[in-house]
Structure 1
Amino acid sequence: MKKLVVASILTATLTAGAAIAASHGADPIATRKNGMQGVGLAMGTLAAMAKGEAPFNEKSALSALKLMNYVAATFEQHFPEGSNSGGDTTAAPKIWEDMAGFKAAVAKLQTDTAAAIEAAPASAEALGPIMGSVGGNCKSCHESFRVKK
């Protein structure tokens, strides 16, 4: 059963990564939505392992962190002028009003996920501080740069 859960988590994370990569260059709203869906799956994977709801798997944890880092590394490219409406976007107007602040928030996520990858958490307990740091980035960015529906 544990192997099935780990395999499912890893498959979901990799599938999300493939969807993000395939959508590069397409509609920017769809691309950033795919990216955030991937980040959401990755956070869910990490949170489940950190809480003991899923067995810890080093490869799955590292894959989730790498997916988040990849999205952060390319995310700001998908907010060109004119992509602030349509496509049922939840991007707040503040992104275009404070692009420097938005880019700084995305860069912080990239830096923190890169540090987490370098740390290579080897246990559920090691995920706690990572979840605090990376999750704090997500929360902060969502509060500032996302429209709540």
Structure 2
Amino acid sequence: MASVSVSHLIIFIASMMIAASVAGVFTDSIGQLSNAVSEQGLDVSRDVRTDVEVISDSGSSAVYNSDGNENVTLHVKNTGSEPLGADPGQMDLFLDGQFVSNFGVTLLDGTDGVWRPGTVVRVEIATSGLSAGDHRVKIIVNGDEEVFRFRA
């Protein structure tokens, strides 16, 4: 009878050790999953709070070649609630479906280099000349996409 109690005690202790190790693994995995979900939530929140609008007049002659350098000049307003960086690394541009890497961004309101909500930047896209007709510029900032159509 004592041998049965000893064997039950050994099995009980072994099962408690296995349960404790499994619980430790689950706790660590759940913690990592929770951190990943939190980080993704912050990224999505930033994307949702980002909104920009091109406020240039598509019918204006100031959009293309206004200074004689065959540049496309756009004014873009931060209409979201997220402050953005006022530099070319913060946005992607496409001119007539082609990726543009040669452009400059100038903050018109403010001096601290931060594109705050309600402020405007001037985007100057260097081109080698556009043919007469319809053109479009697509601007992507933090996942927010805006398309601007104009005539050259």
Please state which band the TM-score falls in when normalised by the shorter chain.
under 0.3
Structure with more strand by fraction:
2
TM-score by length of 2: 0.25
Structure (1 or 2) with the greater helix fraction: 1
With the length of structure 1 as denominator, give the TM-score of the two structures: 0.25
Larger Rg: 2
Q: Which has the higher contact order (CA 8 A, sep 6+)?
A: 1
